[in-house]
Every structure is written in C-alpha cells, then in structure tokens.
Amino acid sequence: MTRQLTPRGVQPGTPPTPARTRRTLHPWAWWVWAIGGMAVASFTRNALMLVLLAGAVTWVVVVRRSSAPWARSIRAYAWLALIVIGIRVVFQIVVGGIRYGRVLFTLPRIPLPAWFAGIELGGPVTLEGLVFTITDAGRLAVLLFCVGAANTLANPRRAFRSVPRHLHRIATAVVIALSVAPQLVESAQRVSRARRLRGTTSSRRHAVRSLVVPILEDSIERSMLLAESMESRGFGSTTRVTRYRPDPWRLEETITACCGLAAGLLAWWLQYTDPMLMSPPALPLAWPQLSPIIVAIAVLMAVPGIASPPPSKEDL
C-alpha cells in the first residue's frame, strides 16, 4: 500500500488549487498605448526623443509579442519606416528645400522650364538640410512604427470582438484595414515556406513574380473568409450579436492605456512650455537636448513591457 505525501500546510483531501493561466492583454489597451506614442512623435522634432521613443516601443514589442505568424509584421513596418526616411533624404539631396548652412557637396544644376518655379534640381547639399530632413522624416517613421507595434501586439480579430454592438458597421471596415499588413506578412511567410519545401529556385525577377501573385491571392481569400465569417455571425447588421468569452479590462489594461495617454499629454504640454526643446532650430545647428520630462515620457512608454502580462497561447 503506497503512501501519498501531502505538501506541508495543506490538509489531506483538499482539492488542488488550479494554476493561474496566462491571459493576453486587451487589444484596445495596446492601441491606446500606441496612439499615445504616435502623439509624442507628432509633437517633436527632437532626434534624441524620437530615438528614445522608438527604443521604448521596440523593447515592449520584443518582450510582449506572441509567436503567432501575424505578430512578425513589426519587421515590415520597420523597413517601411527606413524607406520613408531614405526617400525624404533622396528628395532633399536632388530637389532640395533647405540649401543654407555648411555645404557638404554640390550637385550640378539641371535647368527646368519656367512653369517649374520654386523647384531646383541639383545644387548645394548642406548638413543643416540633411539633419532637418532626417529628424522631420523620423517623426513619420516613428509614427508608422507605433502603428506596427499595435498591429503586432493586438490581435485584430479580438479587437473586433471587443467593439460594442452598435459600432460593428464602422469596426468591420477598421479592423479589416488594420489587419491588411499582418495578413500580408503571414501570407508571405506561408508562400515562402511552401516554395522552400518544394525546392523551388528561380532568379530574382521570376521569384518576385511568383511570390507577389500568390501572396495577394491568399490575402484576398483570407479577407473574404473573414468578411463572410463576420457576416454569418451578424456583424454589421441589425441581428442580435453574441459575445463569446469577452476580454476583461483589468488593472494591467488600465496601466498600459494610462501610460500611453500620459506620455502623449506630457509631450503636448512640453510643446507649449518649451518649444525649443521639442523642435530645435535647424540654424544654427545644435545637438538636441534632453530633459527629465523627455526621459519620463520614454519610461512611460516602456512601462507596459513590465506591467502587462506575457502573451498567451490564445493568439497563436
């Protein structure tokens, strides 16, 4: 007869305590947090502040994203942000906008017709012009990166499920639009994996053609399936909509949303109280400064990486 050992402090016959299961943060809490980051990026041209903001968002994404295929879309948004900065720099060098300051090199001028008044091709390329262009384009780049972070952390299907019944018509279009980029990334991964399993090898020109068409076709099919499934459940119509396992809004969601809102409000307040700090002048060129409030804004944007629960298996 075997003897069962009982842990110390537990009475025999006591049922075991169920383990606490992980839960995923409410998707709209991530979107409120990301909107706060977008507000911060739109209020400043301080390069150091933009770098700190991007670093805080990146850290939160790294520690809190799930292993779902659509959660890897942050790379696509990072490349898009870099492309935006690169395009702006190329236009500044070729077309120009700021030609004053220290000249780095000079491009030959190309004469244009008279109806191209105010546009110059070629000419001096200055350090002040490049710095201003990079910081100004960095605002849009960080803003796009915040959108990518929200798409990476928040499941769009769960976000749609959490919308009130009376807003389902608007939410249908919004959620489908927000899920385009993650869905394209997921389709690209599936198509690339299928090509590798088949051992398909082709040149770059043919590879692009054989990838783009299946990716677009798969994305359209998945969008149609999503729309059909939502229509079958009564979304976007006047029928009664049921809510299955609604996502709870708890302390972690409140902390995450409040951190994003507080960061955006601090940036808005600092824009009026110290505009030179938030938007340093391009001439004379000076190193951007930091302040305790700027550091506090970056810390607020990084707090959800600690306060929010780790991702669960529900998003796989």
For residue 316, CA distances in Å to 28, 47, 156, 214, 273 come to 18, 36, 13, 23, 45
Residue count of the chain: 316
Q: Give the model confidence (pLDDT) of 80-102 as tens digits.
A: 899 999 999 988 888 877 777 88
Q: Report how far residue 263's alpha carbon sits from residue 270's, in angstroms, rounded to the nearest whole number.
A: 11
Q: Report how far residue 219's alpha carbon sits from residue 222's, in angstroms, rounded to the nearest whole number.
A: 5
Please name which of 229, 60, 270, 238 lies closest in space to residue 152, comparing C-alpha atoms: 60
Q: Report how far residue 41's alpha carbon sits from residue 287's, in angstroms, rounded to the nearest whole number.
A: 18
Q: What is the CA radius of gyration of the chain?
A: 25
For residue 74, tell me if it sits in a domain: yes
For residue 17, tell me if it sits in a domain: no
For residue 184, tell me if it sits in a domain: no
pLDDT in tens, the chain (316 residues): 444 444 454 455 554 444 444 567 888 889 999 999 999 999 999 999 999 999 999 999 998 888 776 677 788 888 889 999 999 998 888 887 777 788 888 888 877 777 766 677 778 888 888 888 899 899 999 999 998 898 888 877 676 666 666 666 666 666 666 666 666 666 666 667 777 777 666 555 555 566 666 666 666 676 667 666 666 666 555 575 555 556 778 898 899 999 999 999 999 999 899 888 888 887 787 888 888 999 999 999 999 999 888 776 555 4
For residue 145, tell me if it sits in a domain: yes
For residue 217, tell me if it sits in a domain: no
At 10 the pLDDT is 47
- Provide the domain count of the chain: 1
For residue 133, tell me if it sits in a domain: yes
* Identity of the residue numbered 6: T
Q: Report how far residue 150's alpha carbon sits from residue 83's, in angstroms, rounded to the nearest whole number.
A: 20
At 176 the pLDDT is 63
Q: Report how far residue 298's alpha carbon sits from residue 263's, in angstroms, rounded to the nearest whole number.
A: 8
Q: Which two tokens stand for residue 111?
A: 């004469």
For residue 11, CA distances in Å to 3, 18, 232, 233 come to 15, 16, 51, 48
For residue 300, tell me if it sits in a domain: yes
Long-range contacts, stretch 275-278, CB < 8 angstroms, 24+ apart = 277/46, 278/43, 278/44, 278/45, 278/46, 278/49
For the chain, strand residue ranges (E) read 103-110, 121-126
Q: Give the model confidence (pLDDT) of 247-304 as tens digits.
A: 778 898 899 999 999 999 999 999 899 888 888 887 787 888 888 999 999 999 999 9
Kindly tell me the burial class for residue 293, based on how many C-beta atoms sit within 10 Å of its own C-beta (0-12, 13-18, 19 or more).
middle
The neighbour count for residue 267, using CB atoms within 10 Å, is: 24
238 phi and psi angles, rounded to 5 deg? -95, 0
* Identity of the residue numbered 253: E
CB 244 within 8 A of CB 194: no
CB 211 within 8 A of CB 192: yes
| Confidence (pTM) | 0.74
Please name which of 62, 53, 63 lies closest in space to residue 33, comparing C-alpha atoms: 53
The neighbour count for residue 103, using CB atoms within 10 Å, is: 14
The neighbour count for residue 206, using CB atoms within 10 Å, is: 11
At 227 the pLDDT is 62
At 82 the pLDDT is 92
User: Domain containing 280: what range?
Assistant: 27-165+249-310
Write the DSSP symbol of residue 105.
E
